[in-house]
A and B are shown apart, each in its own frame.
Chain A
Amino acid sequence: MRRVNPAAEAHPALVFWIAAGWVGYLLLPWYGIEDGFFRFEWLIDGYPFDEEYAPAVFLIAQGEKLWLAPLLLPLAAPLFVVRSRKTDPEFATVLTIAGALGFAWLIAQGFGIGIRGFNFSWLTALFGDLGDRQFGMGYGALILASSFLFLFTQGIAARGAINGDVFVVSAIGGVIVIVATFVFFPIGRTFLAAFITDTGGYSLAVFASKFFDDRLWGLGCLWGARCGAAWNSLFLAIIVGATTTSLGLSFALVVSRSGFRFKRGLRMLTVLPIITPPFVIGLALILLFGLSGTVTVLFAEVFGTQPTRWLYGLPGVLIAQTLAYTPIAFLVLIGVVEGVSPSMEEAAQTLRANTWQTFRTVSLPLMRPGLANAFLLGFIESMADFGNPLVLGGNFDVLSTEIFFAIVGAQYDQGRAAVLAMVLLFFTLSAFYVQRMWLGRKGYTTVTGKGDAGVHPLMPRRLAVPVMVVAGIWGAFTVTVYGMIVYGSFVELWGVRNTLTLKHYITAFSIRFNEHGLHWSGSAWDSFWTTIQIAAVAAPLTAAVGLITAYLLTRQTFAGKNAFEFGTMLSFAIPGTVIGVSYILAFNVPPIEITGTGIILVVSFIFRNMPVGVRAGIASMSQLDKSLDESSLTLGANSWQTFRRVILPLLRPAILAALVFSFVRAMTAISAVIFLVSAEYDMATSYIIGRVENNDYGLAIAYSTTLIFVMLAAVALLNRLVGRIQIGRRAHFATGA
């Protein structure tokens, strides 16, 4: 047995964070390096004395930036308690106070002093003109801030919070701080714009005048005119949520509980739309069903009717969104449908329930968390979607496009954008609470530590037939749309000159060999590599943050948990456009100055897509019995080990979903990206949009097709790497294996 000697133990985590803090303060450049986060030219360029690269302590020694000096105090204090016992009240008090004070001072000086001296006039009034300035924080400040944060959480843990569990308290603290920094701070800043008057003051009347607007709340569609954007969005989102959830469930059932032979093919099909860059589905739908679309023209010839523009408006957006978001519902539901323990169903059948009764009274209710989460995601995605309404919306105005054009259109009205964003947020949050109420406090746990070697029963026949039919029709439709897309990338000018050509691929992706070796001469390579790189960095980070958050939400109880959950969902519910502009407003100036870098793209992807990881994680984790954790804890593992060795392996489907989704999203997202790309970091989607605007449909579609195949390969690779879940069932019906 392991022997523990508490008196001599110098808590390794504590030592680590104290050391990190000192390194940040003494050795690393305090301010951000203008050349980029991952450039190390500063090492030979005047470090450590040059003001731009100097660590904090060198700055102070040279008599500059003296406001950094007080940080020494909270940095030194924890050294006195390194060797004391955790139970010593002094230990907790010193760490808590030092961490909190250090962190608070760091924030205060960051916001108080900017590139033009004091940021607030009252500070100037109090202390006089500063005569100095500072730029964005760099490595040193970042590491010191983390150090203070984790000293603080260790102090809190030592006081006995969450049973003194350092891992859990630190994880909560970490998530709260990053969510506050990258979600609440920028969005709060933007929302303030709703109250700003023309003269720069604040007023509620401004908000009211923008809020009570007929373009927003008009109910004209009830008598033939047009409805406001708010009602349109709400109506659309409810239909899309319901449609995608039922289609997703159909697919999940076909894949997991039928003798259907082409399951793998169906799986691929359902994944296709999610990996499609924006605008492509819209363009394909127009070419099929638009005024001059193939299907429309054919239909008109056969039945002698006049072609119409029926696609533009609610029908078109609905079809496109259903195509695009059914896979998300599928990804959420497949984990849940496979996770429902067969023992329950077998028990029901032993008690003489027929297959239909079993499905209706046992299987379906156990899938409720999955259904609710799938609906919520569909609803939110539809609300925030921007590409499809832009292409197919016609006169059907929705909030997301209205927000975009309030910012970039001829109005330049950020206040209106903020008001619209608030309305949108209100809808999504309401949906979120309705979902929570519907799920209620019931338990949906079926995967326990006990032996569970059953086989899922097949679907009852009266369900199987309609489900298969729906899945079949939808599959055929998807194949047609994608066939059109691939075809479109090989023709001269889609819909006009239909001669086959490879020229679009050559323009985009040609490679030349010359005396310097390989030369990526195609016009798309730059944005292509950037996109891959950013997506590859963002995906694992997103999955990690998402799953840790999900773990905290399902497995731990702590004060303010609801607010915590709300915060993590917030960035998903807000349209990308608002996030994009918020990020520029918030992160273009110190203390965090990251616009124009790749970091801001990665960060925006993490916080945009994290909620999917959270949702998938919650859905899967609520099926895992707590006794698994408890037995692990009883056997002496701490909560980190439990998370790592017990929960994580059982969460493979959720991890996979989170990884796939965030990778793919990073490659296909557009609305936030438009604002955040820069010359050095241009993304594939913004390149594609530029091409579409310029009429180069062939090139745009060729690029999109390439991206689709790249993402397919990536998804397959991730599938391989993460592996599939094995819950000790007979292999008969378990897919894959």
Chain B
Amino acid sequence: MNLTRFKIGASLLAVAVSSGTAQADKLTYYCSAQEDWCQLMARSFEEATGINVNMTRKSSGETFAQIRAEASNPKGDVWWGGTGDPHLQAAEEGLTEEYMSPMRGELHDWAISQAESAGNRTIGIYSGALGYGYNTDLVAANNLPEPGCWNDLLKPEYKGHVQMANPNSSGTAYTTLASMVQIFGEDGGFDFMKGLHANINQYTKSGSAPIKAAGRGENTIGIVFMHDAVKQAVSGFPIKVVAPCEGTGYEIGSMSIIAGARNMEEAKRFYDWALTAEAQNLALQVNAFQVPSNKNAETSPSAPDMSMIKLIDYDFAKYGSSDERKRLLQKWDEEVSTLPQ
């Protein structure tokens, strides 16, 4: 054995080893909100607690697929953000952990009822109402009337001007379908979807794509969550946001602790922290226009004013269950999507 070489190797190893620091507390954090919000939440939690955060951002559908795939050997600890349905679904499949946060007293009722409908395996962190936005330039250029209600969208002059996501691929569009069924009744809701189908120029894959296309001038009216439309307007695109006159459904962005989390204590600390007013106020820094679930948290002045919006009493337990979802989607597939346009 070459002794010098051995010595060099040994000293290199010693250096490598000593540079590794002592094991600190850590948290693996799956985030399904927008990138900068996720980053800000992670960094702020690190600052507040000294716990190292490993953050991965993926859409709620992707995260749900991943948590499901990892079920027998969970890698993540806490899942924050994204529309409520996949969180409810995860709760239904036992992929997430039951937890009663001491912060509950400070939350709005809708956040608590979201938790209760999932056996306390998830909780509401923000909410956003469904609506639509339109490109003012294109409406003017095509001499179209300005829409204000859901039923306006059925007018023949909007033919080829409306976009929504495909409910099979997007939670936003499924919320739209479920809201229409709740506003107009099942038959009326499907009649509405059929009428709308005639005016749709494209069913996009992703939920917020219709309003992004409208922002770029590639589409006139996009049916989306209103905070997504506000974001386009604030970014400088010629978008006007509409809260439909008949009333509308909404989503509850949720948070869950993953069952079998490796850092359960840290996950719970994050959970409690994320429900505080100061953590929820971080949304203001990143142009997130959802309504926070903590009663004391501030809402952005640009955000849609929830008191002015007619919200329906959305039944999350019923329309979030996988059976009802499958039934509605199948019905939509068979009765609506096959119609000629």
User: Is A354 among interface residues, defined by CB-CB distance under 8 A?
Assistant: no
Q: Roughly how many angstroms separate A367 CA and B37 CA in the complex, as a whole number? A: 54
Q: Roughly how many angstroms separate A596 CA and B76 CA in the complex, as a whole number? A: 10
Cβ A690 vs Cβ B35 within 8 A? yes
User: Is B117 among interface residues, defined by CB-CB distance under 8 A?
Assistant: no
Cβ B54 vs Cβ A286 within 8 A? no
Interface size class of A (residues with CB under 8 A): 35 or more
In the complex with contacts A309-B218, A496-B237, A589-B72, A408-B35 CB distance below 8 A: no
Identify whether the interface residues of B are mostly helix, strand, loop, or mixed.
mixed
Q: Which of A664-719 contact B (CB under 8 A)?
A: 674-675, 677-680, 682, 687, 690-691, 693-695
Q: Roughly how many angstroms separate A594 CA and B138 CA in the complex, as a whole number? A: 50
In the complex with contacts A589-B72, A675-B66, A679-B54, A409-B231 CB distance below 8 A: no
Cβ A409 vs Cβ B219 within 8 A? no
User: Is A262 among interface residues, defined by CB-CB distance under 8 A?
Assistant: no
User: Is B194 among interface residues, defined by CB-CB distance under 8 A?
Assistant: no
B236: A residues at CB distance < 8 A: 493, 496-497
In the complex with contacts A292-B217, A694-B34, A409-B64 CB distance below 8 A: no
B333 CB to nearest A CB, Å: 7
User: Is A44 among interface residues, defined by CB-CB distance under 8 A?
Assistant: yes
Q: Roughly how many angstroms separate A91 CA and B54 CA in the complex, as a whole number? A: 53
Q: Roughly how many angstroms separate A694 CA and B38 CA in the complex, as a whole number? A: 12
Residue of B61, B173, B202 near A312 (CB, 8 A) is B202
Cβ A410 vs Cβ B170 within 8 A? yes
Residue picked from B68, B173, B216, B237, most chain A C-beta under 10 Å: B216
Identify whether the interface residues of A are mostly helix, strand, loop, or mixed.
loop
In the complex with contacts A496-B237, A677-B56, A691-B35, A292-B66 CB distance below 8 A: no
B160-184 vs A, CB cutoff 8 Å, 1 = contact: the mask equals: 1000001111110110000000000
Cβ A678 vs Cβ B217 within 8 A? no
Residue picked from B69, B89, B215, most chain A C-beta under 10 Å: B69
B259 CB to nearest A CB, Å: 14
Cβ B72 vs Cβ A41 within 8 A? no
User: Is B13 among interface residues, defined by CB-CB distance under 8 A?
Assistant: yes
In the complex formed, the residue of A with least CB distance to B68 is: A412
A692 CB to nearest B CB, Å: 9
In the complex with contacts A292-B217, A493-B235, A115-B205 CB distance below 8 A: no
In the complex formed, the residue of B with least CB distance to A590 is: B73
B266 CB to nearest A CB, Å: 14
Q: Which of B173-209 contact A (CB under 8 A)?
A: 173-174, 201-203, 205-206, 208
Cβ A390 vs Cβ B205 within 8 A? yes
B203: A residues at CB distance < 8 A: 395
Residue of A405, A674, A687, A695 near B169 (CB, 8 A) is A405
Cβ B218 vs Cβ A584 within 8 A? no
User: Is B335 among interface residues, defined by CB-CB distance under 8 A?
Assistant: no
User: Is B59 among interface residues, defined by CB-CB distance under 8 A?
Assistant: yes
Cβ B13 vs Cβ A40 within 8 A? yes
Cβ A495 vs Cβ B217 within 8 A? yes
Q: Roughly how many angstroms separate A412 CA and B64 CA in the complex, as a whole number? A: 9
B78 CB to nearest A CB, Å: 12
A399 CB to nearest B CB, Å: 13
B167 CB to nearest A CB, Å: 6
**8 A–B contact pairs at CB < 8 A?**
A40-B13, A309-B160, A409-B61, A412-B322, A678-B56, A679-B54, A680-B54, A693-B35
Q: Given known contacts A394-B202, A407-B65, what 17 new A-B pairs fall within 8 Å (CB)?
A: A43-B13, A286-B218, A287-B216, A290-B218, A405-B166, A407-B61, A408-B62, A409-B205, A410-B169, A584-B66, A588-B73, A596-B75, A675-B66, A678-B75, A679-B56, A687-B35, A693-B34
Residues of A within 8 A of B (CB): 35, 39-41, 43-44, 114-116, 214-215, 224-225, 286-287, 290-292, 309, 312, 390, 393-395, 401, 404-405, 407-412, 414, 493, 495-497, 523, 581, 584-585, 588-589, 593, 595-596, 674-675, 677-680, 682, 687, 690-691, 693-695
Top 6 A-B pairs, shortest CB-CB distance: A292-B217, A679-B54, A409-B169, A408-B61, A405-B169, A690-B35
